[in-house]
């Protein structure tokens, strides 16, 4: 391994094959859902844990009155087909399944819930699809969903217009923000090339080079990632 971009600090620190580790940038999650807002989420006052608790309560309530085909929360199970047919037209998210599913599980666990492990959690809907297709399904069925910002911004307006972003990570929040996802660049100790990977790491962490590109990278006019270091002459307060 030369360089890996990873999202699992504990595993990175235990890995003896990592020679150098740097905080590279921060990715973001959105908690989105139907405009009808059946769980009565309050974007102004609710924390993300409050919102997940309300979603669980609403889902269990719907189960109790035996509403059929009613789901409250959607989970994408991204099953990657390396040779998709032309009709599938998959558009994968920048984040791998394990990363999104790990954060998804962490939030539920913090409120003491594991709906994916309970057969009777019928409100918990699992999609064996790519993120964009899953978001489209959640939009049609009026479900809540945790989605990374890249996948949200890559979705057609016909899908996102039917939904509301109820919670998103703050641009300058600390790593304890549950909707903020720090990405780390790890330089492999056993790299066969002793020069280029190290130069790339230096370039990535430079204010004037890699961090400036991260700062300026946009999707549909919106900044996708938050850099760790801001380019020279740019104050964080001016970052949209």
pLDDT tens per residue, range 16-41? 777 788 999 988 889 999 999 989 99
Quote the CA–CA distance of 198 and 191 in Å, as a whole number. Answer: 10
Are residue 37 and residue 124 in the same domain, yes or no? yes
Distance (Å, whole) CA 12 – CA 17: 9
Of 133, 168, 203, the last residue of a domain is 168
Calpha distance 52→41 (Å, rounded): 9
Q: How far apart are CA 4 and CA 21, in angstroms?
A: 10
Give strand ranges (E) for 109-176: 124-127, 144-148, 163-168
Please check whether residues 64 and 139 belong to one and the same domain.
Answer: yes
Asked if residue 7 is part of any domain, the answer here is yes
CATH of the domain at 190: 3.40.190.10
Same domain, 17 and 33: no
Looking at 144, 168, 192, the residue that finishes a domain is 168
- pLDDT per residue as tens digits for the range 108-158: 777 666 666 566 567 777 777 778 888 998 898 888 988 889 899 999 999
Which residues span the domain enclosing 217? 3-22+180-238
Number of structural domains (the chain) is: 2
Phi, psi of 102 (to 5 degrees): -60, -50
| Residue 80 forms part of a structural domain | yes
Average pLDDT, the chain: 76
């Amino acid at each position: 391994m030369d360089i890996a971009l990873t999202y699992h600090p504990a595993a990175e620190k235990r890995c003896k094959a990592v020679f150098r580790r740097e905080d590279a940038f921060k990715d973001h999650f959105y908690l989105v859902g139907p405009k009808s807002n059946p769980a009565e989420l309050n974007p102004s006052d609710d924390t993300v844990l409050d919102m997940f608790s309300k979603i669980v309560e609403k889902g269990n309530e719907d189960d109790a009155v035996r509403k059929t085909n009613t789901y409250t929360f959607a989970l994408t199970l991204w099953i990657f087909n390396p040779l998709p047919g032309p009709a599938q037209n998959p558009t994968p998210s920048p984040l791998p399944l394990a990363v999104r599913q790990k954060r998804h599980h962490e939030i539920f666990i913090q409120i003491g819930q594991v709906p994916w492990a309970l057969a009777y959690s019928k409100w918990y809907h699992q999609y064996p699809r790519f993120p964009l297709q899953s978001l489209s399904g959640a939009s049609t069925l009026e479900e809540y969903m945790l989605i990374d910002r890249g996948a949200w911004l890559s979705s057609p307006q016909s899908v996102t217009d039917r939904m509301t972003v109820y919670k998103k990570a703050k641009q300058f929040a600390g790593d304890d923000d549950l909707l903020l996802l720090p990405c780390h660049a790890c330089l492999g100790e056993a790299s066969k090339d002793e020069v280029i990977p190290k130069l790339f790491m230096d370039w990535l962490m430079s204010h004037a080079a890699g961090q400036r590109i991260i700062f300026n990278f946009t999707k549909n006019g919106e900044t996708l990632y938050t850099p760790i270091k801001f380019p020279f002459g740019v104050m964080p307060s001016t970052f949209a």
